[in-house]
Amino acid sequence: MGKWILALFMSVGLGLCAPISAQSNAPNPQAKPPASQSKSSAMKSKSSGQSKAATADVRPWWQSAVFYEIYPRSFADSNNDGIGDLNGITSKLDYLHQLGVDAIWITPFYPSPQVDFGYDVSDYENIDPIYGNLADFGQLQTAAGQRGIRVVLDLVLNHTSDQHQWFIDARSSRNSKHRDWYIWRDGKGPQQPPNNWESLFGGSAWQFDPKTNQYYYHFFYPQQPDLNWRNPAVKDAMFDVTRFWYDRGVAGFRLDAVDTLFEDPKLHDNPILPGKNAFGDPNMEDQYNRNLPEIHGILKGLRKIADQYDAVLIGETWTTSIEQLKDYYGADKDELELPMDFMFTMVDKLSPTEFRKQIAALNSSGGWPVYLIGNHDIERSYNRYGDGKHNDAIAKAMAGMYLTLRGTPIMYYGEEIGMANDDPKTKAEVKDPKGKLGWPQDKGRDGERTPMQWTDKVNAGFSKTRPWLPVADNYKTHNVAVELKDPNSILAFYQKVLALRRSTPALLLGDYVALNENDVNVMSYLRSYKDKAVLVVINMSSEPQRVSFNLTPQGFSTGQAKTLLTTMNGISGSLRLTEMSLEPFAVYMGEVSR
Ligand code: GLC
Ligand code: CA
């Protein structure tokens, strides 16, 4: 069945659960092993799930799933060469299962010269030897499936590596078979690129290629030439790549940089804005080479294929308005299921007012929301929201929020243990080329990509060899082994929230209603489903706060909440809604009934 039933909602009277213990080793109750490697089981018919009991809520699997992003270079190193790999990931699946995630998104592991650490792909249908091989991937898929964890890959559509066979052929002559798979133009004159477009990573977006005396276009590094999506052969080849992986049981893709697929064929210059960026280039509005409407035709096509496999499409969609975000869901909800809303990650302070505003906007889009607070391109949430004094409490406050909103959360590895950014101290240390070009204003993305902290031992248990990036400073206190033993750790809190979410229909399916909307310190909301609701209350300030709720307008006339989970010690049983005291940065979740 394509859309599967959350079986637990079918049993009457299950209700919300009592406060839960730190850790559950029980198999994920919703876990349906993902499609296995065989083509026949990967191909699912979409309709059979619809005929189930009318009382059951039928939702697509990705709406109740928690996704976890893995940067494979930095997750776990099984062969001790200092770089993480697929077998490393496989060895940590029990950990991920205990944590309570339903799907992993692995950033690119395909063969690559690693200029952009995998986002420069030289073969879309294989594995880079530093990460393993297709057999290792098969084992990872199988082992993940046994634990009810689905595997989502990263698909780099906009560009290939300059070492991809297509590009090697394209640049060999103007008449080559693949010439028109990329974007080639004459310069305006000697040493003059075709127009003023800039690369996101610094300098002109045009690279002169003396062999054929033309420029090629690259939105990212020069080693990442843009594909020409106006050529149907490009589309066919990439659509086939998705089938290749779906047939191996992959549950979907995170589509890299989809907003950059198309460019204005007339090459109009972009408007220049005041000031300069970290690379010393004039600021620019990417009006003619970003977010062009032609993208939507491609997304519809990708979605048609994904639907044949019950697969999900997540988008790296940098939008500047809710209107733009709406477009990515598709007018008929026939494009991306989960376009990422980065507007949310750009609220860099703990501000209930700002969060409420973003959440309301996102809900108004009509699409199913996606929530994330960090990834491999953004400074870690631990630093962005932390105040330097209460960072652990703040990390729990953020988890208490984004894992309990109405929508699908995407975690970033290490967030659950409070991993912090560790930026390079000198330019010579920088690995990310962007950080070399932008130094010191833009130090690149190494800081948020440091090795996962498994233990307090050498190299944080990531590898027996010196890792490709140094381990972050806080590994002695913030690591999986230590935090698993501490019931008050960030990790223990993540486990509890995820377990509560999994077992609580209101958190998975309920409406979101903002409460006490004028409160600038405490973020509160109700997630209500049928005759129950979860009240979520988060003190986002460093002072104790008192709050009071009247839930009668929401149809809950009760004066009490039954405590489900809180960061405050010594609180259990029921609390009066009219006089709730919150410690600094406290999270409280309680059940209310009609
Ligand atoms: C996306 C990726 C980023 C990469 C870029 C080019 O933004 O998240 O890491 O450098 O695309 O592929
Ligand atoms: Ca492009």
Atom in ligand 1 nearest the alpha carbon of residue 159: 12
What SS3 state is found at 274?
A: strand
> Is a pLDDT exceeding 60 seen at residue 580?
yes
Q: In Å, how far from its chain's centre is CA 516?
A: 30
Dist CA 143 CA 249 (whole Å): 12
Secondary structure tally for the chain: helices H, strands E? 16, 21
Residue 232 Cα to ligand 1 middle (Å): 24
Is the link from the previous residue into 440 a cis peptide, with omega within 30 of 0? yes
pLDDT attached to residue 344: 74
Confirm if 469 and 480 have CB atoms less than 8 A apart: no
pLDDT attached to residue 58: 82
pLDDT attached to residue 55: 54
- Res. 345 pLDDT band, cuts 50 70 90: confident
> Is a pLDDT exceeding 80 seen at residue 41?
no
pLDDT attached to residue 441: 96
Q: What letter represents residue 217's amino acid?
A: Y
Residue 513 Cα to ligand 2 middle (Å): 40
pLDDT attached to residue 106: 99
Q: In Å, how far from its chain's centre is CA 505?
A: 23
Poorest-pLDDT segment among 3-7, 236-240, 340-344, 412-416? 3-7
Dist CA 299 CA 287 (whole Å): 20
The label of the residue with tokens 């209310």 reads 592
pLDDT attached to residue 49: 34
pLDDT attached to residue 57: 77
Residue 73 φ then ψ, to 5°: -55, -25
> Is a pLDDT exceeding 90 seen at residue 314?
yes
pLDDT attached to residue 3: 35
Q: Report the pocket of ligand 1 as residue ranges, CB < 6 Å.
A: 116, 119, 156, 220, 256-257, 316, 376-377
The Cα angle at residue 407 between residues 24 and 324, in degrees rounded to 5: 150
- Res. 42 pLDDT band, cuts 50 70 90: very low
Confirm if 546 and 579 have CB atoms less than 8 A apart: yes
CA 567, 572, 575, 580 torsion-angle sign = negative
Q: Which two tokens stand for residue 21?
A: 């213990």
Per-residue pLDDT tens digits for 11-36: 322 233 333 332 333 334 344 444 44
Q: Which two tokens stand for residue 454?
A: 């498994």
Average pLDDT over residues 337-360: 91
pLDDT attached to residue 271: 98
Q: Which residues contact 26 (CB under 8 A, 6 or more apart)?
A: none
Active site residue 123: no
Report which protein residue has its CA nearest ligand 1's atom 3: 377
Report which protein residue has its CA nearest ligand 1's atom 9: 377
Q: What letter represents residue 303's amino acid?
A: R
Per-residue pLDDT tens digits for 360-416: 999 999 999 999 999 999 999 999 999 999 999 999 999 999 999 999 999 999 999
pLDDT attached to residue 56: 66
Confirm if 183 and 226 have CB atoms less than 8 A apart: yes
Q: In residues, how long is the chain?
A: 594
Pairing of the two strands 522-529 and 511-515: antiparallel
Burial tier of 581 (Cβ tally within 10 Å: 0-12, 13-18, 19+): middle
Q: Which ligand is nearest to the CA of 156?
A: 1
Please pick, among 256, 327, 335, 341, the residue that the annotation labels catalytic: 256
Report which protein residue has its CA nearest ligand 1's atom 12: 119
> Is a pLDDT exceeding 70 seen at residue 424?
yes
Q: Which two tokens stand for residue 397?
A: 């406050």
User: pTM (2 decimals)?
Assistant: 0.92
Per-residue pLDDT tens digits for 210-226: 999 999 999 999 999 99
Ligand 1, pocket-test mutation among 156, 201, 220, 258, most atoms within 8 A of CB: 220
Atom in ligand 1 nearest the alpha carbon of residue 201: 10
Per-residue pLDDT tens digits for 56-69: 678 999 999 999 99
Average pLDDT over residues 172-190: 98
- Work out the number of other CB atoms within 10 angstroms of the CB of residue 418: 26
Dist CA 254 CA 235 (whole Å): 17
**Per-chain mean pLDDT for the chain:** 91
Active site residue 341: no
Helix (H) or strand (E) holding 562: strand 560-566
Q: Which residues contact 453 (CB under 8 A, 6 or more apart)?
A: 414, 417, 419, 460, 461, 462, 471, 472, 474, 475, 478, 479, 480
Of 140, 41, 152, 137, which is closest to residue 102 (Cα–Cα)? 152
The label of the residue with tokens 């033993």 reads 485
